[in-house]
Structures are given as C-alpha cells and as structure tokens.
Amino acid sequence: MTRSDVVFGRSLESVTFADVERLIIKNKTVESNALEYKSGFDKFGEYAEDIVAFLNVDGGILILGTPKEAYLDPHNKAKGKVCTGPFRYHPYCAKDWLRNQLLGAIEPLPLGVRIHTVKDGDDDKKCVSIVEVEKSENPPHQTKGTYYIRLDGETRRAPHGIVEALFQRRRRPVLELVPEFIPKEPTSLYLVVRNRGTGVAKSMSIVVRVPKDLRASRYGPNGSGPRRMVLLTPHNVSLGLFRFDAAAGEVVHPYSELRIGQLFGPEDFTSVIPGDYAFDYVVFAEDMKAVRGRCVITVTDEAMRIVSQDVVSEDDSHILAFMSTLT
C-alpha cells in the first residue's frame, strides 16, 4: 500500500483537487510524521528537507499550495497543525522542472518520489502539487550537508546515532532498470540494470514489458549474444514480455551497472512512430525487496530520450498483482 492509498484512499494518479480539499478543509486532517502541508511555493530548500526526512524514516506525503498552516490548538501545540483560510495555489509547472527543484539538492539522489499536480477547475494558476515519498532503501539522505528525520509531526535534524543506524540500513542492493542511449547511437536503445545501493546485487532476475512499437523483430536464439533477454510468451508475442536471468556468479557492484540487452538498433528506428512509450518492469535480487518500476521514453524523428523514471511500488501485494497481469 502506497502513502497515497493511506492518506487519500486511492492511487496518486487518481487523486483530484476535491480529494485534497476534503482532506484539508472538510476533514481538517492534522499534520503527522507522514503528512506535511506547505502553503508557499518558493522555499524549495525547505521542501527538500521534508522530502529527506520522509525518505529517512517511513515515507510520507508533502502537499504544496495548501492554505496557511496553523496550530489546531495554540495553547497545546502537541495537537499539531491544520490548514486554515483559502488555498495558496501555485501556477502550473512542468513535472520535470518541479522534480529538479525538489530533488536536485538531495544526496544520494532518491528513487520512489512521485509528483502529481491537480487544478482547482481549469485554471492553470490554481494548482496544488502532491509529492509522494516512499521509505528509502538507500538511506540516509541529506540536503546541503544535513540529515533530517520526521519526529512528532515535524522535520528535524537527525542526531548522529540515528544517522549511523540509517547507514547500516543502506547496505543492500537497490536496482532499477534504465533505458540507455549512446551519444554515437541516438537511434539505438539498450536496457541497463543499475545498482544505486551499497550492497552487491546477486541472483538477479528481471521481467520487462516492452512497448509493441519498440520491439525489434530480431533476437538471438534463446537470448544469446548481446540480446540476452528471452521472450517469455512465444505463444503470444503481442504481450511483449521478456525475462533476463543473471548467469552464475554474475553480479552488479554498488554504483555500477550491467547492460542486459539491446532492444533496438538503427535499422529498426525508421519504423517507429514518434511519441511516448512506457516500459513496465519487476526486478528481483538477493537481499532486496522486489521492485516494480516504470520508465517512459520519448521518440522523435531523430532520436530518443528518457522522460521519467519511477519506482511504482515495493509493496509485495502490488508486485504479485502486477505479475499476475503478465500472463
């Protein structure tokens, strides 16, 4: 279950402005260790601190563009903060720009941070953004040299002892699947598994669903040669499911990567219709929770580029549900 499921009762992508309004105005939901309101839209350093705190503890939801925060009971601040007055919207901005503003100063660069912007009506000047942050598998994170945690519904500097404990939690692999474009081959598409963790990734297995229009017609027999992925559904090629299994003794060391196959070559590029294409995948490895992810690329008349790269879920029930759709 994601943080959005907990806070809004639905997935992040399906949250509407009415859901945000209900949470803040009607239900008067109090800030907590997993929920933070921000009425401004100009303190990105402060927002990064909140995101770092969520990453380092148990994840959470940060909402930008809310009404002004105030203590529920000024005489008893332990009761927490709610929002009062009108929404302090922000103007519409591109997701990539907002992501860079929020995450650019966070180290190590986090996975599992997703952004969803909703509008009050059709007015581009009346936007509220929801930032969903999953608990990091690669803590501790910092911004501008300082580590933060959530405590008593607030973001606070992390004591040395907690930072040490978070470093111990980090020593495991954190894998993601990334499309790779080589500058000298802008019309070639490779798939790379990258380890952002501090543990060695062993016994890797990856299942990926490749968009129909990005499937080359040529694959080595049984995944041999540079294209090591095996078609899982030869009886139904339209599903586009491929699997990669690491060879005996094959590992990915921390902060390194392994190219697992070439999906596309220059000779295939002319047949592709320009547009956005999404890859859905699940990665398994020893000493690591299974990760379901999605990567979106854009194809133009001349080249390809990555649009977004997100970890969709690390929840076991979500992984099983997704895998059940792959057959």
Does 15 score more than 90 pLDDT? yes
Chain segment 238-278, per-residue pLDDT in tens: 667 778 888 888 899 988 988 887 766 666 667 778 888 88
- The letter for the amino acid at 302 is E
- The 8-class DSSP code of residue 247 comes to P
CA-based nearest residue to 55, from 318, 311, 232: 311
- Paired residues of 107 in beta bridges: 142
Torsion angle in degrees (nearest 10) through CA of 300, 94, 9, 7: 140
CATH 2.60.40.10 at 175-324, yes or no: yes
Does 233 score more than 60 pLDDT? no
Cα–Cα distance between 256 and 195 in angstroms, integer?
6
Cα–Cα distance between 296 and 33 in angstroms, integer?
32
Output the pLDDT for position 84: 93
Locate CATH 2.60.40.10 in the chain: 175-324
Locate CATH 3.30.950 in the chain: 3-169
Chain segment 173-208, per-residue pLDDT in tens: 888 888 777 767 666 777 888 888 878 999 998 888
> Which of 25-39, 136-150, 154-168, 223-237 has the weakest average pLDDT?
223-237
- Give yes or no for a contact between 82 and 29, defined as CB atoms under 8 angstroms apart: yes
Cis amide prior to 140 (ω within 30 degrees): yes
What is the fold, at CATH topology level, of the domain defined by 3-169?
3.30.950
Does 166 score more than 90 pLDDT? no
